[in-house]
Amino acid sequence: MFTTAAQLLDLTDKKLMVALRDGRKLLGILRSWDQFANLVLQSTKERIFVPPGTAPNQTRGLYADIDRGLFLVRGENVLLMGEIDLDKDDDPPPGYDLADLELVQSLAKRRKQQDKAKEKKKIKMLATEGFEGENLGEILL
């Protein structure tokens, strides 16, 4: 079975979590959509996650929400989406604690820089072995 835009009909006016291709997670109420699966989310929040172990002595993950309001998502950028159980909506994600937005943003930025440096090092090592990845042109060695 494959997903079509018509299957979004059951999710209209429901609270969803939408994972985007760039890694962002959005939580909002699906108000409208079109044949290309472009979505209009109302009362949208962007949730930023920092996995456990990113900061010293951090045993649990951290998360913070940014209010985004009305949000238009282009259909091709949707990686995954699902309905949120309203009974568990107010509970924090398992293994994560709510934290200050500035702290979570700084930790997430540092983690992203570390991951990028690690990936760059890996690509450089693979390039010396003759490997040519599909995104090699986007990474400056």
Total number of domains constituting the chain:
1
In a domain, 77, yes or no: yes
What integer pLDDT is reported at residue 62 of this predicted model?
A: 92
Expressed as residue numbers, the domain containing 74 is: 5-99
pTM: 0.80
Rg of the chain in Å (alpha carbons): 18
Whichever domain contains 26, its CATH number is: 2.30.30.100
In a domain, 116, yes or no: no
In a domain, 105, yes or no: no
In a domain, 75, yes or no: yes
In a domain, 127, yes or no: no
What integer pLDDT is reported at residue 138 of this predicted model?
A: 57
pLDDT tens-digit series, residues 26-71: 999 999 999 888 999 999 999 999 988 766 777 789 999 999 999 9
In a domain, 35, yes or no: yes
Q: What SS3 state is found at 72?
A: strand
In a domain, 135, yes or no: no
pLDDT tens-digit series, residues 99-135: 999 999 999 999 999 989 998 898 888 888 888 766 6
Sheet holding 78-83, edge to edge: 78-83, 15-20, 25-33, 39-50, 61-73, 96-98
